[in-house]
Amino acid sequence: MRVLEKINDWVNRILVFMGGIFLVAMMALTCSNIFFRMVWVPVKGTFELMGYFGALAAAFALGHTQMKKGHIAVDVLLNSFPAKVRAFFRVVNHAVCAVFFFIVAWQVALKAANLMRTHEVTETLRIIYYPFTYAVAFGCLVLSFGLFVDFMSSFFPKKGGES
């Protein structure tokens, strides 16, 4: 179990770092586009690049956010149940979400394969779509893996009696 957690941590650290780089690139691109628009020379393809970089920043942060329990959770209904019932629903939720995001990753990868087969490119900069689409699929796959690790850790209590 510890090995899965270390792999999850390692992969998510790399991805969140890369997502941060794309976020900084988005800020730099926005600032440069604002500056160059003042002198009537906007940066060509800003809209396309912002879309790509935003998708990568979000997809690469999904797994890390799950690992840090940063996603919102609405527990209004579950808070009225005993701890064991809440734990059961948490396990079921991790399992269902892991399967769901695995299917999402698979479907996005199929879309990327189709984009690769058709040689689809962006309109302004003529950048190919599929590497970015595969990267988003990988981000969803890493989230699925993180949810699977959370699911499995429910069955292996940590030291100190935590579940």
Report which of 6, 138, 133 is spatially closest to residue 67, judged by C-alpha positions.
6
Q: Rounded to 5 degrees, what are φ and ψ at 110?
A: -65, -40
What percent of the chain has a predicted confidence (pLDDT) above 90?
88
The stretches in the chain having pLDDT less than 70 are 159-163
Helix (H, G, I), strand (E, B) or coil at 121: strand
Average pLDDT of the chain is 94
Over the stretch 2-17, which tens digit does the pLDDT of each residue have? 999 999 999 999 999 9
Query: Which pLDDT value is given to residue 160?
Result: 59
Q: Are 146 and 67 in contact (CB under 8 A)?
A: yes
